Amino acid sequence: MAADEQADIVVVGGINTDFLVQGPRLPAPGDNVRGHLFLESLGGKGANGAVGAARLGARVALVGRVGMDARGLALLEQLEGEGVDVGAVARDSGELTGVVLEMVDEAGRSQTLCAPGANRCMTVEDVMRAEERLSAARVLLAQLEVPLEVVSAAVHIARAAGSRVVLDPAPAMDLPEDLLEAVHVIRPNAREAEALTGVEVRDRDSARRAAENLLRRGVGGAVVASPGGSLVLSSEEELWLPDVALERADTTGAGDAFCAALAVALAEGKSLPEAARFAHEASALATLRLGALAGLPNREQVEARLARLGPSGTWPEPAPHH
């Protein structure tokens, strides 16, 4: 999008370089395992969300912080190349751009270690500088890779301006009630849902109990990812979206794709169930490729999958092969 255009979606969140190595198995402490594949990529849930939403056709602005290093500059260029407005990304002279080291085995299991660097130094002032962008947007998408007071400030500006707020509560932690009350839709995975609610999420029933807990604490709607599928709950309806049968390469970033697509669909005025169906297909597509960024689908890919859905809005059983 052009710098003078208004964004539909503002993303406030983390920006990193992801270094991924895939090998036959994950190393145990002290091990040295020889891998066979290396990927370096733009990452961080803020960046993934921004790129994910831009690929789905939304006008997107990102609010975040990188270092003054060459990696930071390269990431900003790449974000711009994806059409993301990076005018509100601050550059920190004292910290390095965030780094994530990810190891993935052949079964797709992964292990991650990160150094947040500049992300950790984001301030409420960074958000205040983006106030105009935030107030003009339809949806704020935020995660928890930047300080909580930064997320809170952004959420409260968005609410005051009448925008919708989508929160991906990752990494896992409990959250203050005043933040939960300001969130329209929260989308935890099973581990994050447990950190927020104390409910161990194993299936549809436990996912519903976690979602009910979140609704009682003030969120408008919840999408809880659990083994086997995602439970969508608001005061009006419940929807269960079973995992789509696909040859998955890597589920990393599938949740980021879900949140980005959810934000896009809500910005377009879709209802929560409709938006969740759209996001579920985007999330499934994101598992097809290794690395979070590479898997973020474009609009045509998601629309093509939605067009093949059965009348119930979910895939007929058994899942079709195309």
Ligand X SMILES: Nc1ncnc2c1ncn2[C@@H]1O[C@H](COP(=O)(O)OP(=O)(O)O)[C@@H](O)[C@H]1O
**Of all helices (H) and strands (E), which one includes residue 210?**
helix 204-216
Structural contact between residues 59 and 9, judged by C-beta atoms closer than 8 angstroms: yes
User: Which residue, judged by CB position, is nearest to Mg ion in the bound state?
Assistant: 255
CA pseudo-torsion sign 201, 205, 211, 214:
negative
Buried b / exposed e over 8-45, threshold 16 CB at 10 Å, is: bbbbbbbbbbbebbbeeeeeeeeeeeeeeeebebbbbb
| In the complex, minimum distance from the CB of residue 262 to ligand X, in angstroms, rounded to a whole number | 10
| In the complex, minimum distance from the CB of residue 168 to ligand X, in angstroms, rounded to a whole number | 7
Q: Is 221 in the site for Mg ion (CB under 5 A)?
A: no
Q: Is 276 in the site for ligand X (CB under 6 A)?
A: no
- What gap in Å lies between CA 243 and CA 149, rounded to an integer? 34
* Closest to ligand X by CB, 72 or 297: 297
* Closest to ligand X by CB, 246 or 304: 246
Asked if the peptide bond before residue 24 counts as cis, ω within 30 degrees of 0, the response is no
Q: What one-character-per-residue DSSP string does 97-158 give?
A: PEEEEEEE-TTS-EEEEEE-GGGGG--HHHHHHTHHHHHH-SEEEE-SSS-HHHHHHHHHHH
- The residue annotated as part of the active site, out of 8, 126, 168, 256, is 256
| In the complex, minimum distance from the CB of residue 130 to ligand X, in angstroms, rounded to a whole number | 24
Q: What one-character-per-residue DSSP string does 261-301 give?
A: HHHHHHHTT--HHHHHHHHHHHHHHHTTSSSHHHH---HHH
* Closest to Mg ion by CB, 157 or 222: 222
* Closest to ligand X by CB, 16 or 283: 283
| Residue 311 φ/ψ, nearest 5 degrees | -60, -25
Q: Is 119 in the site for ligand X (CB under 6 A)?
A: no
Q: Answer yes or no: 105 catalytic.
A: no
| In the complex, minimum distance from the CB of residue 34 to ligand X, in angstroms, rounded to a whole number | 25
- What gap in Å lies between CA 217 and CA 205, rounded to an integer? 19
- Binder of ligand X out of 251, 266, 295, 305 (CB under 6 A): 251
Q: How far is CA 268 from the centre of its chain?
A: 18
Q: Is 255 in the site for Mg ion (CB under 5 A)?
A: yes
Build a one-symbol-per-residue string for 198-237: x at contacts with ligand X by CB under 6 A, - elsewhere: ---------------------------x----x-------
From Mg ion, ligand X, none, which one binds at residue 254 (CB under 5 to 8 Å depending on kind)?
ligand X
Dmax over CA atoms of the chain, in Å, equals 55
Structure tokens at 64: 């975040």
Stretch of 4-12, 119-127, 280-288, 312-320 contacting ligand X, by CB under 6 A? 280-288
- Residues in Cβ contact with 238 at an 8 Å cutoff, skipping those fewer than 6 apart: 208, 231, 232
Q: Is 278 in the site for ligand X (CB under 6 A)?
A: no
**Which of 185, 148, 161 is CA-nearest to residue 263?**
185
Q: How many residues bind ligand X (CB under 6 A)?
A: 19
- Binder of Mg ion out of 75, 154, 170, 241 (CB under 5 A): 170
Q: Is 13 in the site for Mg ion (CB under 5 A)?
A: no
Build a one-symbol-per-residue string for 177-196: x at contacts with ligand X by CB under 6 A, - elsewhere: ------------x-------
Build a one-symbol-per-residue string for 187-216: x at contacts with Mg ion by CB under 5 A, - elsewhere: --x---------------------------
Indicate which residues carry an active-site annotation: 256
Judged by the rule CB under 5 A, the positions of this chain that interact with Mg ion are 170, 189, 255
List of residues contacting ligand X (CB under 6 A): 170, 189, 225, 230, 243-244, 246, 248, 251-256, 258, 280, 283-284, 287
